[in-house]
Amino acid sequence: MHFRPKDSLVITAEQAFEQQSNLRSLCAEREPAGLLSRSLYGAEETLKEYCGVRSKRPLKVLLPHGVMLHERHIDPVDRQARMPFVWCYPSYRVDVFHKEAIAEPVLSAAPYVYTCSLLKDQPALTRRGTIFFPQHVGFRDSLTDSRRALNAKFALELKSLPASFQPVSVCIFWADFQKDYHQPYLDAGLEVVCAGHSYDAEHHSRFAHLCSRHAFASGYHPEPSSSTHWLGNSFSNTMFYSIKSGCHYFNLASLLNQEKRRWFDNATRLVDVVAGPSQLNVEKRLYDLFFEPSDRFTHDQIELINYLLGVEYLKTPRELRFFLLKCDFAYYYRSTDQYKAYGWRHWISGDGNDK
């Protein structure tokens, strides 16, 4: 059985930081390599790297976009994937996949947890300052003017943070960079960084390296309310991933006065999808646990983030390799002759048919 060297596709911190000198290249348009969910953030390549699978053929498993706090929502793209199994985290998502019969749910850790495992032996960096994650607008052209105004106000607040939170880097979403939403931060003299395009196979490892040099991470989150309509999660994956990468997360709202918080609350609340009761419960816990800045993690903070990321279900390389092979076999079981044509040994080694 053939294996890649463990670090063959894992970029170093030096490479990640050097790439920040050309954000236009990092944020350039890309096409997905295959099924949309598998192409996001290099999740598929991370899993292959972790367990030593060489094949270029796409994995036959549905990989969700990230942590979904709503226990019943399923992305329309995922409904059309027609995969035999779905990578499932947090554990409360098992029921909706069973009920909707989208795919057989298999509990496992989020792909980003596997990225952290791949990077665990890389040298530790000195942590200082804060990495800030603005809400990303992406492709909503109607919000262009209001988003630039919001980012300009965020920039002023970030510049005035106490010395213990300086320097501040702003991690911009690639599509927002294309629309120049990052310009107010540059105008304020703040460093702007990016983990790259969503279809960039190095996205997760680059994100982890950017977090690894910061002591704190931050975003802005209005207080969850049962009368509020949310656009999906009000807490993004950047929050969960930065905490898993060792950053002490805090809500920028905690350092603002009431008048400023009211303004930012109105500017950042997005109306679209109604949050269910269970989602609101999780969001309220996140809001309370990660509101104030602190230089120490509490047991409750670690427990909640590990639960949402499914850390308990992290597979060993051997377990993951066996599971991915099982997915491959289940996908092709209707065509035994086709499966015999390339064989499982070719799938692992990378030889033969890579469709």
So what's the pLDDT on residue 347?
A: 45
Buried b (16+ CB within 10 A) or exposed e, 147-164: bbebbeebbebbeebeee
With a cut of 90, say whether residue 352 has pLDDT above it: no
With a cut of 50, say whether residue 344 has pLDDT above it: no
Give the range with max mean pLDDT: 2-16, 28-42, 81-95, 107-121: 107-121
* Separation between Cα atoms, residue 234 and residue 244, nearest integer Å: 18
With a cut of 50, say whether residue 290 has pLDDT above it: yes
Please work out, in degrees rounded to the nearest 5, the angle formed at the alpha carbon of residue 65 by the alpha carbons of 287 and 184: 60
With a cut of 90, say whether residue 333 has pLDDT above it: no
pLDDT band at 146 (very low <50, low <70, confident <90, very high): confident
Tokens of 92: 């409360």
So what's the pLDDT on residue 71?
A: 73
pLDDT band at 349 (very low <50, low <70, confident <90, very high): very low
Q: What would the pLDDT profile of 220-248 be if each residue is shown by its tens digit?
A: 998 886 544 444 456 889 999 999 999 99
Residue scoring higher pLDDT (143 or 242): 242
Instruction: Spell out the residues 6+ positions from residue 24 whose beta carbon is closer than 8 angstroms to its own.
Output: 177
Residue scoring higher pLDDT (173 or 100): 173
**Considering only 104-113, 270-279, 288-297, which range has the smallest mean pLDDT?**
270-279
Q: What would the pLDDT profile of 253-273 be if each residue is shown by its tens digit?
A: 999 999 999 988 888 876 545
Q: What would the pLDDT profile of 1-58 be if each residue is shown by its tens digit?
A: 233 344 456 789 999 999 999 999 999 998 776 555 556 888 999 999 999 887 778 8
With a cut of 60, say whether residue 339 has pLDDT above it: no
So what's the pLDDT on residue 307?
A: 96
With a cut of 60, say whether residue 140 has pLDDT above it: no
Instruction: Spell out the residues 6+ positions from residue 22 whose beta carbon is closer than 8 angstroms to its own.
Output: none
Residue scoring higher pLDDT (302 or 2): 302
Residue scoring higher pLDDT (97 or 29): 29
H/E element holding 230? strand 229-230
So what's the pLDDT on residue 271?
A: 53
Average pLDDT, the chain: 84
**Considering only 19-28, 53-62, 140-149, 209-218, which range has the smallest mean pLDDT?**
140-149
Cβ atoms 138, 176 nearer than 8 A: yes
With a cut of 90, say whether residue 167 has pLDDT above it: yes
So what's the pLDDT on residue 74?
A: 73
H/E element holding 259? helix 258-268
Q: How many CB atoms lie within 10 A of CB 257?
A: 7
So what's the pLDDT on residue 144?
A: 65
Residue scoring higher pLDDT (117 or 339): 117
**Considering only 83-87, 116-120, 163-167, which range has the smallest mean pLDDT?**
83-87
**Considering only 40-44, 101-105, 111-115, 169-173, which range has the smallest mean pLDDT?**
101-105
Closest CA to 109 of 97, 101, 117: 117
Sheet with 191-193, side-by-side order of all strands: 191-193, 168-171, 130-132, 216-219, 248-251
So what's the pLDDT on residue 98?
A: 78
